[in-house]
Structure 1
Amino acid sequence: MSLGPVMVGLSGKTLNQEERDMLLHPMVGAVILFSRNYDSPHQLQTLIAEIHQLRDPHLLVSVDHEGGRVQRFRDGFSRLPPMRRLGEIYDDEPKRARRLAETVGWLMAVELRAVGVDFSFAPVLDLDHGVSEIIGDRSFHRQAQAVADLAQSVVSGMNKAGMSATGKHFPGHGAVEVDTHVGIARDERALVDIELEDLVPFERLVHAGLAGVMPGHVIYPQVDSQPAGFSRFWLQEVLRKRLGFQGAIFSDDLLMAGAAPMGSVSDRAEAALAAGCDMVLVCDNFTEICNTLERLERFDNPASHLRLARMHGRQPISRDRLHNDPHWHQALQAVEPLLQAKPLDLL
């Protein structure tokens, strides 16, 4: 059975029978996990193993685990700094910042791989234009070159740990104040201005072999009337043709308010796939997930199957072996000074 085009969320820390049946639906291809699904590394590993055993090839298991405010698994995992900290170091010591970025990427990825997670939706490639609270210190830097340099190092570290990377939020979320989780966001800039700045990290990482991209739900009225993740222009003309991206395109969560202009959740799923997404995310609401699976019953895209299959994790490693690895201990020592003294707020 190939991987379907829908990524779904789960309600708790174990699978119930309804969820097991749902995950066997041919339109499901992946699961995204949140803090609500986490209690301990052992519990998480057991849950992921059960998900993986349901299908062959196994369903992808993903998570938003960037560091800083967005780190879904806390106790039992190493704390990761907000990416802004790497940008601050980059201003004075770019070589050191790149080395640290690769270490952070490796540490994040290897700990997730040790419990079975296939990939994390990282890194954030948005520029920090100083107006978006939802991006804020999740961004490496204001300057495109710095973001590209540091993100490429993070991706290198992730790849060395056996994890593919997904850059987000194409073509750039950092210049709008509105949080698309709760509102409709518009970026009034012209295409040429976006190309000169925000697209630079995406272009650089695409050329370096980036495996995945997540477009945002931001509308760019000077370019297209639809949010980027539902826009054939952004996904087909710009991302696929102009930038030459060959990897997997993941929608942002279709339940977010920023996707509301596209109609019902099922309508949104159809529109995103028609625009060029390979996989759509419905992260909560069992009823909406089932409605979406029913609507997409006949969807089939062989090219998407191949792109998504490349997102499977590689180089499996046990937690015991990892914790005995000198490289892991060295990474912890390198990352520790980057952590803020005050507790990091959860997103």
Structure 2
Amino acid sequence: MTTQTMGPGPLMIDVDGLELNQEDEQLLQQACVGGLILFQRNFSSRSQLCELVKSIRAIRQDIIIAVDQEGGRVQRLKEDGFQRLPAMQKIKDYQEAQTAASETEIEQLGFLMASEVLACGIDISFAPVLDVDESFSSIIGDRSFSDDPREVVRLGSAFMRGMSNAGMATTGKHFPGHGAVQEDSHLTLPVDKRSWAEVEQRDLLPFAKLLPQLDALMPAHIIFSQIDEQPVGFSEYWLKTVLRDKMAYNGVIFSDDLSMEGAVQAGSYAERAKLALSAGCDMVLVCNNRQGALEVADALQNYPLAPESQERLMTMLARRQWAWENLASDSSWQGGKAFAERLLA
């Protein structure tokens, strides 16, 4: 099979198993496919994972391969040498119990996560979570660094410096903030009734402060009813007027998964994808629903992805290659591992 290089298209898909099947291979060859996200079901060992990644690259060399490797309950790669990562709110608990964690330790934690993912040929982990929360939101909770937006800025900035030092692009989620709604957007479409001023002073603050460090953003499937009637990921107001124009953001915008219940009101899978792209997303994710992914791939066969979107997406590819056997001798990896283990103790 010939490796194809055609620039990333606007669709990110997933695969079911530990190796590619014929349908996977055919789908990956479609020009509209530009990304692939891996889940825990795609991992049985590090060697198997590396072979799966190689088989994907053999079909599409330039594809963006992603994983959710935040830590805590959202960590897809956990065994066979991968360091177990704490939920980010463990840092706050550690600070309250002892002394404030140094920014160097948090940087090293970001480096640890990113370097292990990169060493398997994966480009990005969708991290960090920049939502402001402690335990209110059913889906965010301990995934957040803090319920204090200033601490989210401080800790998130340090974590992203570590990711960048390892060679990984950063993705902040879930713009403009998911921590103030209790409902899980995987299961329903939450509505946040707060004013612009309330959102800006709390939830939006980490995104606004950290924009220079953010290579990508992922918007939330939430309606802010006093601000715009569309869910954020389908809203030209949020993505173009606020993010691109007012905030002058020029990084990648990934949709959140279009299979989530929070996306259902936008119509069929094809309608959801086209609406998200026209609202300002550079790439849309369709996960855990192969029929939906095929529908979107068919609808986007001749989709004219803007050159600036393609250029932005190319910045998400890995910026450094790591050999797994060299990680243990790296001082930043060592520091990150030691800090992770202290947080988990």
Report the TM-score when normalising by structure 1. 0.94
Query: Relative to 1, partners in 2 of residues 1:327 and 1:224: Cα closer, same or farther, differing over 3 Å?
Result: closer
Q: 3-state SS of the aligned residue for 1:249?
A: strand
Q: Which residue of 2 aligns with 1:282?
A: 286
Shift of 1:299: 1.2
Q: State the match for 2:340 in structure 1.
A: 335
Number of the residue aligned with 1:65 = 69
Higher mean C-alpha displacement, 171-180 vs 129-138:
129-138
Structure 1 residue corresponding to 2:125, chosen from 120, 132, 136? 120
- For the pair 1:255 / 2:259, whether they are aligned, the reply is yes
Give, in whole Å, the separation in 2 of the partners of 1:126 and 1:310: 24
1:13-24 counterparts in 2 under 5 A? 13-24=18-29
2:151: which partner in 1? 146
Gapped regions of structure 2 (runs ≥ 5): 1-5
Shift of 1:92: 7.7
Q: What is the aligned-residue RMSD (CA, Å)?
A: 1.5
CA distance in 1, matches of 2:143, 2:336: 20
**1:51-130 paired onto structure 2 within 5 Å:** 51-56=56-61, 58-76=62-80, 77-90=82-95, 96-128=101-133, 130=135
Q: How far did residue 91 of structure 1 move?
A: 5.5
CA distance change for structure 1 residues 30 and 198 in 2, over 3 Å: closer, same or farther?
A: same
The answer (yes or no) to whether the contact 1:211–1:247 under 8 Å persists in 2 is yes
Q: Is the 8 A contact 1:213 1:250 kept in 2?
A: yes
Letter in 2 for 1:188: K
The whole-number CA distance in structure 2 between the counterparts of 1:337 and 1:311 is 31
Q: CA deviation at 1:201?
A: 0.5
Contact 1:87 1:97 in 2 (8 A): no
Which moves more between the two structures, 5-14 or 125-134? 125-134
Structure 1 residue aligned with 2:8: 3
SS at match of 1:96: coil
Structure 1 runs not aligned, ≥5 long: 341-347
Distance 1:308 1:87 in 2: 33
Q: Distance in 2 between matches of 1:261 and 1:327?
A: 45
In structure 2, the residue matched to 1:223 is 227
Q: Is the 8 A contact 1:90 1:97 kept in 2?
A: no
Q: Which residue of 2 aligns with 1:294?
A: 298
Letter in 1 for 2:173: K
Cα distance in 1 between the residues matched to 2:38 and 2:334: 26
Measure the CA separation in 2 of the matches of 1:5 and 1:33.
Answer: 17
1:327, distance to aligned residue in structure 2 (A) = 3.9
- Is the 2:110–2:162 Cα contact (8 Å) retained in structure 1? yes
| Match of residue 345 from structure 1 | none
Report how far residue 93 of structure 1 moved: 7.4
- Deviations 1:241-275 (CA, angstroms, capped at 9, x unpaired): 12221100000000000011101111100000000
Output the CA distance in 1 between the equivalents of 2:89 and 2:103. Answer: 13
Q: Distance in 1 between matches of 2:127 and 2:134?
A: 19
Return the offset for 1:29: 0.1
Question: Is 2:242 the partner of 1:235?
Answer: no
Mark the CA change 1:113 to 1:299 in structure 2 (over 3 Å): closer, same or farther: same
Check conservation: 1:168, 1:213, Cα contact below 8 A: yes
Q: How does 1:306-325 map to 2 (within 5 A)?
A: 306-325=311-330
Q: How far apart are the structure 2 equivalents of 1:326 and 1:202?
A: 30
Residue in 1 that maps onto 2:196: 191
- Residues 112-158 of structure 1: per-residue CA shift (max 9 Å, x gap): 00001100000000000642121000001111110011001110000
Cα distance 1:322–1:190, how it changes in 2: closer, same or farther (>3 A)? same
Q: What code does the residue aligned with 1:45 have?
A: C
* 1:12 matches 2:12: no
Alpha-carbon distance change, 303 to 211 in structure 1, aligned in 2, over 3 angstroms: same
In the aligned structure 1, how far is the partner of 2:97 from the partner of 2:276? Answer: 41
User: How far did residue 324 of structure 1 move?
Assistant: 3.8
Q: Cα 1:75–1:320, aligned 2, differ >3 Å: closer, same or farther?
A: same
Cα pair distance change 1:129/1:175, threshold 3 Å: farther
Q: 1:26 aligns with which of 27, 31, 40?
A: 31
Provide the residue aligned with 1:303 in structure 2. Answer: 308
Q: TM-score, length-normalised on structure 2?
A: 0.95
CA–CA separation in structure 1 for the residues paired with 2:136 and 2:340: 28
Please give the alpha-carbon distance, in whole angstroms, between the structure 2 residues aligned to 1:319 and 1:166: 23
CA distance in 1, matches of 2:128, 2:199: 19
In 2 relative to 1, CA 253–288 (structure 1 residues): closer, same or farther, beyond 3 Å?
Answer: same
1:90 and 1:98 in contact (8 A); partners too: no
1:264 equivalent to 2:268? Answer yes
Amino acid of the structure 2 residue aligned with 1:189: R
**Do the aligned residues in 2 keep the contact of 1:215 with 1:250 (CA within 8 Å)?**
yes
Contact 1:48 1:117 in 2 (8 A): yes
Q: Which residue among 156, 161, 165 is the counterpart of 2:166?
A: 161
